[in-house]
Amino acid sequence: MSIYVLSVVIAALFLLSILELVRRQKLKEQYSLLWILFSLILLIISFNVSLVERIAEWLGVKYAPAVLFLFGLLFCFAIILHLTIVITRLSSQVLRLTQEVTIMKEREDLHGQND
CB 36 within 8 A of CB 19: yes
The Cα–Cα gap between 83 and 30 comes to: 12
pLDDT in tens, 36-50: 888 888 888 888 888
Arithmetic mean of pLDDT, 1-25 = 88
- Looking at residues 81-109, what average pLDDT do you find? 93
Answer yes or no: are the C-beta atoms of 68 and 7 closer than 8 Å. Answer: yes
Structural domain count of the chain: 1
Cα separation of the two ends of the chain: 80
Give residue 22's domain range. 3-114
Percentages (nearest 5) of helix, strand, coil residues in the chain: 85, 0, 15
Q: Can you tell me whether residue 69 is helix, strand or coil?
A: helix
Do 21 and 27 form a contact (C-beta atoms < 8 A)?
yes
Which pLDDT score, from 0 to 100, does residue 85 have? 92
Summarize the confidence of residues 79-94 as an average pLDDT: 92
At 27, is the pLDDT very low, low, confident or very high (cuts 50, 70, 90)?
Answer: confident
The burial of 67, by beta-carbon neighbours within 10 Å (0-12 exposed, 13-18 middle, 19 or more buried), is given as: buried
Type of residue found at 112? G
> pTM for this structure?
0.67
To the nearest whole number, what is the mean pLDDT of the chain?
88
pLDDT of residue 115: 60
